[in-house]
Amino acid sequence: MRTVQREAIGWAALWGILVLPLAALAAGGVSSVPMTAWLTAVAYLVVTTLLLMRGLRRHGAVHFGPANAVTSLRSTIVGLIAGLVVASFVAPVPVSLLVGLTVPALALDAVDGWVARRTRSTSELGARFDMEVDAFLLLVLSTYVARDLGLWVLTIGLLRYAFVAVGWMLPWFRARLPYRYWRKVVTAVAGIALALAVAGAPVPVAAVAVGVALALLLESFGRDVVWLVRRRAATTSVLRSAMMETSRRRPRG
């Protein structure tokens, strides 16, 4: 095991040791939260740490970096949120705790990027780690909110995974997209809208906020799809032209 992978395990363990007891204290004790939530949170931490270790190995990372440490903290919080959402299907969970965890999870999304820029530790893996934590947070929050607003809310959480699934089937769909800060803005808006709904905002208000967030996400993903389709069309055109030119130059006889 490489040093950078041990660092990933160490940070995950540290945040787990700190965050889980603090959450239990805020809830009024371990027994105030269903055991399902704790088990789900721990399972999430184990799986995400293993996936992160694999990513570190594949990218040849040498240092874990402070930005990834912040994202690891946010991922730990998201794991506990996921646990509460899963447990909410079988037993009541403290909504105040769910909201209290969602707020810092959203706020820290701006911190890890700032830390990466300040410490000059930006990396492709770090950006991917951050993006996957964002996507999973939207998925679990939309799952919780869908019970009150309707199944259409799940579209917010499933868009990212549908996009990835299409990429598995169509290799050209996995091309590197140009950077757009607008994606981060839309993700933040979606998180805030879902947090309002989780906090118990009046149904009409929550529905409008979440509806606007969904519209923005559809626009953002739609723009990426259009870019990929145009890029494929342009690439195909260039290759066809090159093949035709090669055919014309080929000696005949």
Domain ranges of the chain: 3-249
Burial class (CB in 10 A: 0-12, 13-18, 19+), 195: buried
Name the token pair of 32: 């105030």
Per-residue confidence (pLDDT) for residue 252, from 0 to 100: 57
Asked whether the beta carbons of 203 and 149 are under 8 A apart, the reply is yes
Average pLDDT, the chain: 90
Q: How confident is the model at residue 157 (pLDDT cuts 50, 70, 90)?
A: very high
Asked whether the beta carbons of 72 and 11 are under 8 A apart, the reply is yes
pLDDT digits (tens, 9 = 90+) for 71-120: 999 999 999 999 999 999 988 898 999 999 999 999 998 898 889 888 88
Q: Quick check: 141 pLDDT over 60?
A: yes
Per-residue confidence (pLDDT) for residue 117, from 0 to 100: 87
Per-residue confidence (pLDDT) for residue 1, from 0 to 100: 63
Phi-psi region of 200 (alpha: psi -120 to 50; beta: other; left: phi over 0): left
Per-residue confidence (pLDDT) for residue 224, from 0 to 100: 95
**Residues of the chain with pLDDT > 70: what percent?**
93
The most distant pair of C-alpha atoms in the chain lies apart, rounded to whole Å, by: 88
Question: Which has the higher per-residue pLDDT, 175 or 190?
Answer: 190
Q: How confident is the model at residue 247 (pLDDT cuts 50, 70, 90)?
A: low
What global pTM score does this model have? 0.90
Question: Which has the higher per-residue pLDDT, 55 or 121?
Answer: 55
Q: What mean pLDDT is predicted for residues 236-252?
A: 64
Per-residue confidence (pLDDT) for residue 238, from 0 to 100: 64
- 3-249 topology per CATH: Four Helix Bundle (Hemerythrin (Met), subunit A) (1.20.120)
pLDDT digits (tens, 9 = 90+) for 15-38: 999 999 999 888 888 888 889 999
